Amino acid sequence: MRQDHLISAGQLSRSDVETVLDRAAELDAALEDGDPSLRERHAGAVLALSFFEPSTRTKMSFDAAMKRLGGRVVDMGGVDSSSVKKGESLADTVRVLEGYADGLVLRHPREGAAAMAAEFVDIPVVNAGDGAGQHPSQTLLDLYTIRENAGLDDLTVGVVGDLKYGRTVHSLATALTEFDARMHFVSPESLQLPRSVRFDLHEAGAQLREHTELEPVLDQLDVLYVTRIQRERFPDENEYRKVAGRYRVDADSLNAAADDLTVMHPLPRVDEIAPEVDEYENAKYFEQAHNGVPVRMALLDLLLRNE
């Protein structure tokens, strides 16, 4: 990977993605074995976490990843108690943080924030989400989970839920076009893929079909990627319940699906997947969350060694 920063999943070629996933697999095995050399790997290195928006899970996962590599972490903490509140620009903030650390993980509500930060500092910047923009480490851990379970070749993926606001989904779909995956998008009409995303996917040569019902496509899928439908998106509670109920994945859904269907979800879930599905062997959403650690270890390992 000849990158200095990780700003968007789109910047990564198929071969870059494979480099990250291969490294993640090595590190995952080393974790599993309790390999003591892991904790010397980035001993002495310091990573700064700068989250302008809360995201405990992503933050903890980067935090654990750096610590599993033997490194240290310093955290900017909430924005309320920081210089940002006094009117400091993002460019100034990241230039100060640069003096404290060897790498920077940034989450910011404004699209383009990470790319901008990367222009101002000489240490690697990892985008941990910028508004409606990118969240590339999530995409990489999704790809890693798919590769570990269903493989990335000759793949059919179904994505169900909120396809309009789901940044995770857009980014994953873009990445999957690199692997010639077939994609089925299932959502209520009001939460379909935005026109611009659909256009970009078509431009990228994506093989995609859109549906309003899940059942008819279920048995064709290798992977079912479920996303949360937010109550706030609906004008009234009844409308929400109807939609949420329609896409809920439960034991019946699994009966209608291929035996080895891999079920994924970026979590947190609310009601989209029934608890009974947790017992199903190929329910991989917790494994998917756990994969955040080896995948982020791989990213940090590749970027910090790049220096």
Binding site for a copy of itself (CB under 8 A): 34, 36, 38-39, 43-44, 46, 48, 54-57, 59-61, 63-64, 67-68, 72, 74-78, 80-84, 86-88, 91-93, 95-101, 228, 267-270, 275, 286-287, 289-293
Would you say 6 or 76 has its CB closer to a copy of itself?
76
Among residues 65, 48, 180, the alpha carbon closest in space to that of 103 is found at 48
Q: In this structure, what are the phi and psi dihedrals at residue 241, rounded to the nearest 5 degrees?
A: -60, -40
Would you say 16 or 28 has its CB closer to a copy of itself?
28
Residue 152 beta carbon to a copy of itself: minimum distance, rounded to whole angstroms: 22
Would you say 64 or 204 has its CB closer to a copy of itself?
64
d(Cα 166, Cα 170) in Å, to the nearest integer?
A: 7
d(Cα 172, Cα 175) in Å, to the nearest integer?
A: 5
Among residues 227, 285, 8, 301, the alpha carbon closest in space to that of 135 is found at 8
Residue 59 beta carbon to a copy of itself: minimum distance, rounded to whole angstroms: 8
Active site residues: 57-58, 86, 107, 135
Would you say 115 or 289 has its CB closer to a copy of itself?
289
d(Cα 296, Cα 146) in Å, to the nearest integer?
A: 16
What token pair was written down for 20? 């990250």
Would you say 42 or 184 has its CB closer to a copy of itself?
42
Would you say 182 or 290 has its CB closer to a copy of itself?
290
What token pair was written down for 277? 């599905």
What token pair was written down for 297? 């270890």
Residue 207 near residue 181 (C-beta atoms within 8 A): yes
Residue 77 beta carbon to a copy of itself: minimum distance, rounded to whole angstroms: 5
d(Cα 125, Cα 306) in Å, to the nearest integer?
A: 12
Residue type, position 39, single letter? R
CA distances from residue 282 to 150, 172, 288 in whole angstroms, order as listed: 10, 20, 11
Pure H helices in the chain: 14-33, 56-68, 90-97, 113-120, 136-149, 167-177, 195-203, 215-218, 237-247, 251-256, 285-290, 292-306
